[in-house]
């Protein structure tokens, strides 16, 4: 490679191929004023490969930093020839040139994306390139532009998928001695997107993965500034995480959620916590059988523990251990049906006060011996 010196020659062109067999991010570029648009005379496969210059924030060696695979077919690029105006075969792409496309691409011609929107020759999209996707609007991401008449499709999807009126536990109070939290519902927060150009910094991949770092703000007629700062990351499936301006975090998971922690897991909630589960819920404590790995529940003063089964049984089983109750006040039991008690050993009752039985039916007492006031 000769020193460029006064032979520096630059180019503007359109990418027609990014499938570099060497996988180093090279592109085939058709250059304006140098290459013909006639693909019969100069097929895409005969265009020279162009290297891609990475930013200084990427190392360009050993896979450190970002990959050189962000440019797609149909992208307008500019750069220079490393071999000057001698051969013009060693191209270096320095950057892309976004604009406002006035027409869709024609895959049959040069200077367009050669990829077709449809593989079916009978479809109208067969003769239309994949990129650009739209015309008469800037190549800037719609999430960065925030044109109400040209909304990004994910904003529409998010609004339609928003869940509201989620119920919380509804405990039926029984008697004057049982109280429970008021029944209420909650909803997924409203979409907080309110981007202002040019402060929303957006990355979107071809399949629809999105990242937004939004520094937007507005200033009203009185000069009062309102920030709309957000961070948003979304998978093409709709699974997403958003951090809003006031510090809220909203996680939406459209399928299963797995959390695997190799050590401790601690959570501190200074407000309320509500969990509504449409399916089952299991908790397995002390899986390894270690000592003192207890399951402890403590409720602070002036609050109750309420458990309600709407249509089923409430079962508590200890396989080898004891079942202990230590009640600091009254012990009230209300049985709607029969009360069956089976004791395989002895039964001892110690009552320091009075013992009253009020039975409307018959009373049967059986025993080997029956002692009354022995």
pLDDT score recorded for residue 192: 95
User: Mean pLDDT, to the nearest integer, of 231-254?
Assistant: 97
**How far is CA 176 from each of CA 142, 180, 287, rounded to the nearest angstrom?**
59, 11, 40
Which ranges of the chain would DSSP assign to H, the alpha helix?
142-145, 153-161
Quote the CA–CA distance of 79 and 52 in Å, as a whole number: 9
**How far is CA 368 from each of CA 212, 322, 362, 363, 365, rounded to the nearest angstrom?**
81, 28, 20, 17, 10
pLDDT tens digits, 348-363: 999 999 999 999 999 9
Quote the CA–CA distance of 111 and 168 in Å, as a whole number: 59
Matching residue, tokens 């990418």: 15
Please give the full DSSP string across 238-261, using - where no structure is assigned: S-EEEE-TTS-EEEE-SS------
List residues bridging with 129 in a β-sheet. Answer: 116
pLDDT tens digits, 134-176: 999 999 999 999 999 999 999 999 999 999 999 998 888 766 6
Please return the burial class of 144, using the count of CB atoms within 10 Å of its CB with bins 0-12, 13-18 and 19+. buried
pLDDT score recorded for residue 7: 74
Which one, of 27, 37, 34, lies nearest residue 12 by Cα?
Answer: 34
Supply 11's token pair. 């180019």
pLDDT score recorded for residue 1: 47
Q: What is the pTM of this model?
A: 0.88
Q: Is the pLDDT of residue 2 over 60?
A: no
Letter string b/e over residues 165-176, b meaning 16 or more CB atoms within 10 A of that residue's CB = eeeeeebeeeee
* Lowest-confidence pick of 103-117, 135-149, 165-179, 212-226: 165-179
């Amino acid at each position: 490679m000769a020193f460029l010196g006064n032979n520096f020659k630059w180019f503007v062109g359109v990418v027609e191929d990014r499938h570099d067999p060497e996988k180093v991010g090279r592109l085939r570029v058709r250059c304006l004023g140098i290459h013909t648009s006639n693909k019969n005379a100069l097929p895409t496969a005969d265009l020279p490969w162009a290297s891609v210059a990475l930013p200084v924030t990427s190392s360009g060696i050993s896979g450190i930093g970002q990959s050189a695979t962000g440019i797609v077919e149909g992208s307008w690029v500019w750069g220079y020839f490393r071999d000057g105006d001698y051969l013009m075969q060693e191209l270096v792409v320095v950057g892309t040139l976004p604009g406002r496309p006035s027409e869709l691409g024609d895959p049959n011609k040069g200077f367009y994306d050669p990829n077709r929107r449809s593989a079916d020759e009978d479809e109208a999209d067969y003769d239309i390139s994949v990129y650009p996707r739209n015309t008469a609007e800037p190549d800037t991401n719609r999430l960065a532009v925030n044109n109400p008449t040209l909304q990004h499709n994910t904003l529409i999807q998010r609004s339609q998928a928003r869940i509201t009126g989620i119920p919380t536990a509804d405990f039926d109070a029984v008697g004057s001695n049982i109280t429970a939290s008021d029944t209420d519902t909650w909803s997924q927060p409203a979409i907080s997107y309110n981007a202002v150009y040019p402060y929303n910094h957006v990355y979107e991949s071809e399949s629809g993965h999105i990242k937004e770092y939004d520094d937007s703000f507005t200033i009203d007629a009185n000069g009062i500034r309102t920030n709309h700062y957000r961070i948003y990351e979304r998978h093409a499936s709709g699974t997403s995480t958003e951090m809003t301006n006031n510090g809220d975090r909203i996680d939406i998971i459209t399928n299963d959620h797995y959390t695997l922690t190799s050590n401790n897991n601690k959570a501190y909630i200074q407000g309320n916590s509500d969990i509504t589960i449409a399916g089952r819920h299991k908790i397995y404590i002390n899986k390894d059988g270690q000592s003192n790995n207890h399951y402890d529940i403590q409720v602070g003063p002036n609050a109750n523990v309420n458990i309600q089964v709407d249509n089923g049984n409430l079962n508590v089983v200890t396989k080898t251990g004891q079942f202990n109750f230590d009640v600091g006040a009254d012990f009230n039991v209300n049985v709607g049906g029969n009360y069956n008690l089976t004791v395989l050993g002895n039964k001892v009752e110690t009552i320091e006060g009075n013992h009253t039985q009020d039975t409307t039916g018959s009373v049967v007492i059986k025993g080997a011996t029956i002692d009354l006031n022995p």
